[in-house]
Chains A and B, each alone.
Chain A
Amino acid sequence: MSHDATAGDRPHTDTAGTQQTGMRDVPFRGGGFVHRPLGPVAPIVFLVILAIWELGSRSGFISPIALPAPSAAFAALVDLFQTGMLWKHLGASLYRLLLGWSLGSLLGIAVGLAVGLFSLARAGLLPLVSALFPVPKIALLPLFIIWFGIGEGSKVATILFGTFFPTVIATYAGVDNVDRNLIRMGQSFGLSWLSIVRKIIVPGAMPAILSGFRISASIAIVLLVAAEMIGAEFGVGAYILMAGALFALDQLIAGVALLSLLGLCIAWAIGKLEKRLLAWRM
């Protein structure tokens, strides 16, 4: 499949003699490059991997010191559930996550709208946002502990700051991308400034804000675990840290599975929200 210059010089009657002259189908060259929805593939792949892993562990090919069997991890999860510790850990984590993420998102949307709408806010805040966005917020945790205490405050603040910046950026980029013609249309019909913001700019920026949510939610989970590992009695992060310290690998895997499940639930919820708010796009 080279595109040599010499190839074009000769007329295209390759392999003379096999030239067909009768009636025949036009050769089909389309298709491909399109994704078909294949419903059950994902769970099947997941189950196959689990089965191979379990088999490997049972046969002794995978040493339980290196990696516990899925059944062992599952047993740890069941144990966690039966002792009632599951809700204690998960509850503490969810509380921090929801509080930090929703506060960070609300503030982020407010500041993002201001940056998108007012030149003064853009000139004043955007450099600040750009400077602080790349700072790993977990590096600031000691500072937050001094400011907000070793308890819930510092953990919530870490998540809040972590979600705030990507939300600001997603929101103001969304505002910038709203079709100027629609804004001009609003003005030409004499809509008030507030109406234009509420009915044209905010809905127009909504797709960008929602995809910002996806990013900020995963950042929030990462920060949650990191903050809980540094100083917490309860929480999924604390549970994983404890398991690691005791080399209880089955519990460690169970904790990681919990996190993964949490991430999936959040992604599912955001997907639902998108379906609802962005139904006009489908």
Chain B
Amino acid sequence: MQLILQNITHRYGGSTVLDDISLTVDDGEIVCIVGPSGCGKSTLLRIAGGLEKPGGGKALLSGPTPEGSLNPLTYIFQDFALLPWRTVEGNVSLVLEDHGIARSERTGIIADVLARTNLSDFAKALPRQLSGGMKQRVAIARALAVKPAIMLMDEPLSALDSQTRELLMDDLVALWTRERFSACYVTHNLNEAVRLGRRIIVLSRRPGRIRDIVEIDMPLAERVERLPELESLQRRVWEIMREEAREADREITDVA
């Protein structure tokens, strides 16, 4: 399934946040979106997932919904968004309960996704008992449970320390190698972008326009061993972003 954004424009009050953004996320492709803070990345992702109506332009899906997908467009949030009063399995169960799945089948799915994210031992734990990395793993397990066609990830690793981030990035690469999900991955961390992205879309400062697109053909699984090459790519992306980021930093936000 493809996600197509056509000429997305969006305003909050008087200020334009997104200006004429078009992009396509192909089947099995991870598209990274980077851009200076406040340029509208989260807004773009909310529009892509149908949580917000764009002021102009269209968010479209094309191609058949994959068999068995309960929630084709599925989010992973920066702050994990786990219900603190539900256990790990309860949080996964939450997103299955509205689909009329028999209880036995549901427990089967929960056990399966927890096993795939190495969380089986923590099924009965409450979110407050888990570290940040574990919480994000639970959120990933929850997303896998509804068999998404496209994952929408808004800075999923930004709340984690750098070691945990490395571990989870490895997990994501392994997961992608197995499942070949498509993803729209918003980040401000260029290292994550070059490690995960098939394409990197660089946005300008507010109002967000597409500044440049960097394609990376290197297979995901090989990237860990070819870090020096990625390093130069990362520098290239940074060169594109630098001026934008500097200007964005000096701007006074005049949001009403």
A75 proximal to B (CB < 8 A): no
Contacts of B187 in A (CB 8 A): none
Task: Find chain B residues with CB under 8 A from A190 CB.
Answer: 70-71, 98
User: In terms of DSSP, what is the predominant structure of the interface of chain B?
Assistant: loop
Given contacts A188-B49, A190-B71, contact A182 B126 (CB under 8 A): no
Quick one: CB contact mask for B84-97 with A, threshold 8 Å, 1 for yes? 11100000001101
Chain A nearest CB from B79 CB (Å) reads 6
Q: Which residues of A contact B126 (CB under 8 A)?
A: 280
| Inter-chain contact B83/A188, CB cutoff 8 Å | no
Could you tell me if B79 and A188 are in contact, using CB atoms closer than 8 angstroms? no
Provide the bound-state CA to CA distance between A191 and B70, in Å: 11
In-complex Cβ contact of B51 among A188, A203, A281 (8 A): A188
Per the 8 Å Cβ criterion, residues 49-100 of B in contact with A are 49, 51, 70-71, 73-75, 77, 79, 81, 83-86, 94-95, 97-98
The 6 closest A-B pairs by CB, nearest first: A185-B81, A280-B85, A189-B95, A188-B75, A203-B85, A181-B81
Q: Closest Cβ of chain A: how far from B208's Cβ, in Å?
A: 21
Beyond A189-B71, A189-B95, 15 additional contacts (C-beta under 8 Å) are: A181-B77, A181-B79, A181-B81, A184-B81, A186-B94, A187-B51, A189-B75, A190-B71, A190-B98, A192-B98, A199-B83, A199-B94, A203-B85, A280-B84, A280-B85
CA separation between A184 and B154, bound complex, in Å? Answer: 13
How many A-B pairs with Cβ below 8 Å? Answer: 46
8 pairs, A vs B, C-beta closer than 8 Å: A186-B94, A188-B51, A188-B73, A189-B142, A190-B70, A190-B71, A191-B98, A195-B97
Query: Which of A181, A184, A188, A281 is within 8 Å of B74, CB to CB?
Result: A188
Binding site for B on A (CB under 8 A): 181-182, 184-192, 195, 199-200, 203, 280-281
Please tell me which one of the listed residues A184, A187, A203, A281 contacts residue B83 in the complex, with CB atoms under 8 A apart: A203
Given contacts A181-B77, A184-B51, A195-B97, contact A189 B146 (CB under 8 A): yes
- Other-chain contact of B95, A184, A191, A281 (Cβ < 8 Å): A191
What is the minimal beta-carbon distance from B69 to any residue of chain A, in angstroms?
11
Cβ of B128 under 8 Å from chain A: yes
Contacts of A281 in B (CB 8 A): 84
Interface string of B108-150 (1 = CB under 8 A from A): 0000000000000000001010000000000000100010000
**Considering the chains assembled together, what is the distance between the CA atoms of A203 and B70 in angstroms?**
25
Name B87's closest neighbour in chain A (CB-CB): A280
- Please name the residue on chain B nearest to A181 by beta carbon: B81
* A residues in contact with B85, CB < 8 Å: 203, 280
Q: Mark B161-200, 1 if CB is under 8 A from A, else 0.
A: 0000000000000000000000000000000000000000
